[in-house]
Copies of this chain bind each other. A is one copy, B any other.
């Protein structure tokens, strides 16, 4: 490991290696739009503190970011509600699958963290906060465009419509929380916004751009603008580390050693604090619902760069 690793080379090598691997995991099939995605796709982008972009594979192909959006809605909601947000969502790992409702009963409707589905719905509700769904969704989308410095980012309406049509389990979670007063807006409003922000389509390049502030003390390095305080950036990273990969979060920390958030579309946003913002995408998922090759590529990247937050 050199002090300044040749990131271009590493990323391209990794993209090549990943493309050759026979094991790819299973593409999500619960909606047709995800089921149709090419399982052989793989993209990776690393953006360091100087703004240098190292890209490999399908780095400009947009994909459904799904739960990766939850990092950004958490950031937005904390900006609006501050620490009051923690009254309606915890920040402990769940020890359960992403869509479990058991924990909600034990803890009286308060989801354990912002990254399981129930918690992300509660966070979305804090963004809706009395507004019309359209306005809340516009705010989320503009925030993503601002962070990625790219106005072309959009919502895949076909994905959103499919999610809404089949999202009975999320409707169960939302209604359950509503019965405890944890959801304040009409369930339909909050769910509508939730399904749509999960349907945002982005490329690895756009996603890595959007994640830069988390790697750099809350500041967008290209503009010097502060998105959040340094403390809040650290705290969001901490939540990503402990809760970002559902019931595979411990394993991701153990193997990769970076804060990260995965989505069922196969994307992962990872943060090397002080060093880089990283996005990787491969649609095949492992048993915990996280990108199989995405995790493997990140593990290899960290090994070659020495970026683990747990020591060199």
Binding site for B on A (CB under 8 A): 90-96, 100-106, 112-113, 168-169, 171-176, 178-179, 187, 214-217, 230, 233-235, 237-239, 241-243, 247-251, 253-254, 257, 259, 273-274, 308-312
Contact = CB atoms under 8 A, between A and B. Distances in A.
A239 B243 contact: no
A92 B93 contact: yes
A210 to B, nearest CB: 17
A2 to B, nearest CB: 16
Contacts of A216: 311
A198 to B, nearest CB: 16
Contacts of A102: 101-102, 105-106
Main secondary structure of the interface of A (DSSP, over half): helix
B168 A311 contact: no
Contacts of A251: 91-92
Given A168-B179, A175-B168, A175-B169, A241 B93 contact: no
19 contacts: A91-B251, A92-B250, A92-B251, A94-B95, A101-B101, A101-B104, A102-B105, A102-B106, A172-B172, A172-B176, A214-B311, A216-B311, A217-B311, A234-B257, A238-B257, A241-B242, A242-B242, A242-B250, A309-B310
